[in-house]
Structure 1
Amino acid sequence: MATLLRDTLGNSADDRDAIERAQKAFLTERDGTCADKSTIPACRALYEKRAADLAAQNSAAQKKLAAVVAGIPKDAKAAAAALLRYSGAPAKAWLVYLYQSGAVAVPDKDATVRRLVDEILNQGLPKDPYLLEEMANLGDVQGAPLSTSLLFLRHVLSTTEMDAPCFLFTKHGQPAFEAFGAFWGNARDETPGLCNPPSSLFDLPEWQAVSTHMDPAIEPALVERGSIRHGYERQFEVDDLQASLVPSTLLEAPMSAEAKKMAEQRGRAVAAFRSWSDFDVWPEKEYRAAVHTLPAAITATSKLYREKFKLNPQTADQAARAAADRFIAGRLGLIMPDD
């Protein structure tokens, strides 16, 4: 109840006034209903109804906030002005992003960002020691590269129902994909949600044909990984988004230490794919079929990149092969021996 109320009171001033009035009415009713032990069932029902009301109000308010955020590409200054009417952590995190990215100028930027970050860390987030520790480890956000602000934003959004909008990825490319990729290696990687691209590259029939021959080995491995599977699935989702939304960024060099490590692991996985011999884990028939169907998937991808994304033929071919490496390595890593 306290968490729901805190989140809801982070909404705009008009919404807060209505919520505060409703909270006062609830407290008055609570004092009458929960006066003695004989009314415990009615008291419990009252609390449950209030919690449900707050959850519904918070969900509706987050949709309003998401609509404000969606206006950033069109008019960042107007979006920032609207965000200032909110007092919750998500709105403040978006302001940090706008100021740090240079989309909106603000006097005394460093001091303003430092204040917003402090307010978020000390007042605006759930009492989650793991999350707070990781956010504190980011250091001085105001003096760090934009990639740090994007990761900070990711952490704040993970406490909400809000998705990461596509404009973050189309505008910032590799740093955004790294910030919103697999981080925790457990169920925490399920949030925040990611935007849906207009279409998914890996939904092409040619890629589905490759999947048909990999899935029998991959699906059991996902189950065996337990909660770690969420990290793999998150990276699948980010790789799909990158290959489907901004394929040219597949050719950009990794920036963070973790991304560089993942690139090295991807290289080892691709090499293992080319000389696969553990047919107890991945039957030879399925492996050979995957090898046979992969060139058609790469060709279809290159064609899509030339026609839809207007990449020149050489870049389209390179990006298509990079997309294939992501697809193969992300899945093969599940059935390769751990480093």
Structure 2
Amino acid sequence: MPRSSWLFGPVLSLCLIPFAAMAQTPPDCTKPAGRTDRTICASADLKVAAEDMATLLRDTMGNTPADGRDAIERAQKAFLAERDGACADKSTIPACRALYETRAADLAAQNSAAQKKLAAVVAGIPKDAKVAAAALQRYNGAPAKAWLVYLYQSGTVTVPDKDATVRRLVDEILNQGLPKDPYLLEEIANLGDVSSAPLATSLLFLRHVLSTTEMDAPCFLFTKHGQPAFEAFGAFWGNARDETPGLCNPPSSVFDLPEWKAVSAHMDPAIEPALAERGSIRHGYERQFEVDDLQASLVPSTLLESPMSAEAKKMAEQRGRAVAAFRSWSDFDVWPEKEYRATVTALPAAINATSKLYREKFKLNPQTADQAARAAADRFIAGRLGLIMPDD
């Protein structure tokens, strides 16, 4: 906000700014306003703590519905009053730091609890999307707004002037609700106009926003949207960023079948050391393992759907090369021949057990069940074999 040289300009303007907006702003260390700000700005640790506090307060307020924010504001006012006494000069920096740590821990706990409640609202989407959307509108944080973008863009909930509404929500998320993470913001910018993009884009936008939270991607996204959802929430970064957002847990994993455990027993001795050697890239592999498991265990028929995105098509080509390499494997220095032969012997039983499960549990016809079971096997083998194959 522009500063006025006239006395009443800034005073009146400050009166019009909601407390929450003021409390979420760390001290301006180019122009410290008082003794407390000067103390904070003189300490690198306290400057970081104040910035982190502002972000945490913003997130906690954003993840709390409107009628629950008063208690947070009152607690923050009390903290600021105590801070002004505890951070009055440089001699009190240790006490000031401890005060920030205590308040940050309290806010983090509140934010985690708030996100669980928000996740419960999201979980109600399959039952009554309109009721869930109305509840989400009581929040002003990025996660709730991203879910509204998904609801509107997917047509699950209709809204007047949908494109303008989605653009407004996306702008608010980008300008007010996300961490100052240049890599994340660049990838979101690369999505273009979400309001005019296909569903896959809004799902990827949702994934990016949820990656800044503790919230998981719920199973209904995958059961409802199939391949686009699995692609959106699969390996994207190829590093530790792929650890978030978390994925829902299927009722059971097909790869927990004893027959698959037998296959794993002959592959893991070669795969696990290779995974460890990949450094941070291992997170991308592990993410794709998790998504392949979820797809094969939750909506196996989608294993037969064609890839949609350019990256997914590239991954399918790589998977084909890995499966071909498996069939004619000869690098027994990397994967001993005895273990390879045992894997080849154990694999048909795993495929048959998977096909049986697909027929009985998912009611797939025999031909589709067999095809899906073989596709699941291709995912399992190729995802792991890629770790020990020469890089392209």
TM-score, scaled to structure 2: 0.86
Alpha-carbon distance between aligned partners in 2 of 1:38 and 1:237, rounded to the nearest angstrom = 51
Report the alpha carbon displacement of residue 39 of structure 1 after superposing the two structures with TM. Answer: 2.1
2:62 maps to which residue?
10
Report the alpha carbon displacement of residue 110 of structure 1 after superposing the two structures with TM.
0.3
Q: Give deviations 1:236-283, integer Å, cap 9, x for gaps.
A: 000000000000000000000000000000000000000000000000
User: How far 1:320 sits from its partner (Å)?
Assistant: 0.2
Q: CA deviation at 1:37?
A: 2.5
1:145-156 matched pairs, under 5 angstroms: 145-156=198-209
Q: Say if 2:174 and 2:185, in contact at 8 Å, map to a contact too.
A: yes
Whole-Å separation in 1 of the counterparts to 2:117 and 2:56: 17
1:123 Cα deviation after fit: 0.9
> Whose relative contact order is higher, 1 or 2, with alpha carbons under 8 Å and at least 6 apart?
1
How far 1:11 sits from its partner (Å)?
2.6
How far did residue 59 of structure 1 move? 0.3
Task: Determine the C-alpha separation between the residues in 2 that align with 1:272 and 1:36.
Answer: 68
Distance 1:125 1:149 in 2: 16
- Structure 1: how far apart are the matches of 2:184 and 2:278? 23
After TM superposition, give the deviation of residue 35 of structure 1 in Å: 1.0
Shift of 1:33: 1.2
CA contact (8 A) 2:222 2:229 kept: yes
Could you tell me which residue of structure 2 aligns to residue 295 of structure 1? 348
SS of 2:62 mapped into structure 1: coil
User: Which ranges of structure 1 fall in alignment gaps of 5 or more residues?
Assistant: none
Residue 187 of structure 1: how far off its partner (Å): 0.1
Distance 1:262 1:162 in 2: 27
Q: Aligned-pair distance for 1:205?
A: 0.4
Moved more, 241-250 or 15-24: 15-24
Distance 1:160 1:11 in 2: 10
Distance in 2, matches of 1:6 and 1:209, equals: 49
Question: CA separation in 1, counterparts of 2:91 and 2:197?
Answer: 58
Q: 1:51 Cα shift?
A: 0.4
CA displacement at 1:20 relative to structure 2? 1.2
Which stretch shifts more, 27-36 or 251-260?
27-36
Distance 1:330 1:320 in 2: 15
Q: Work out whether residues 211 and 245 of structure 2, in 8 Å CA contact, stay in contact via their aligned partners in 1.
A: yes
Q: CA deviation at 1:171?
A: 0.2
Post-superposition shift, 1:213? Answer: 0.3
Residue of structure 2 in register with 1:222 after alignment? 275
CA shift for structure 1 position 45:
1.0
Aligned-pair CA distance for 1:318: 0.2
Q: TM-score, normalised by structure 1?
A: 0.99
Aligned pair count reads 339
Contact conserved, 2:63 with 2:143, CA < 8 A, in 1?
no
3-state SS in 2 of match to 1:136: helix
* Residue in structure 2 matched with residue 190 of structure 1 by the alignment: 243
Deviation (angstroms), 1:40? 2.1
Q: CA deviation at 1:6?
A: 1.2
| CA apart distance, 1:16 | 1.9
Of all paired residues, the percent bearing the same amino acid is: 93
Secondary structure of 1:9's counterpart equals helix
Kindly state the Cα deviation for residue 21 of structure 1 after the two structures are TM-superposed: 1.2
Distance 1:197 1:70 in 2: 15
Q: 5+ unaligned residues in a row in structure 2: which ranges?
A: 1-52
- Per-residue CA deviations over 1:160-191 (Å, capped at 9, x if unaligned) read 00000000000000000000000000000000
In 2, Cα distance between the equivalents of 1:11 and 1:287? Answer: 50
Structure 1, residues 57-115: CA drift from partner, whole Å, max 9, x if none? Answer: 10000001000000000000000000000000000000000001111000000000000
When structure 1 is superposed on structure 2, of 195-204 and 6-15 the one drifting more is: 6-15
Q: Distance in 1 between matches of 2:221 and 2:149?
A: 14
Q: Tell me the alpha carbon deviations over residues 143-172 of structure 1, each in whole angstroms, 9 at most, x when there is no partner.
A: 000000000000000000000000000000
Q: 184, 188, 191: which one pairs with 1:131?
A: 184
Q: Aligned residue for 2:372?
A: 319
- 1:154, 1:18 → 2: CA distance? 30
**Distance (Å, rounded) in 1 between the aligned partners of 2:282 and 2:87:** 45
C-alpha deviation, 1:18, in angstroms = 1.3
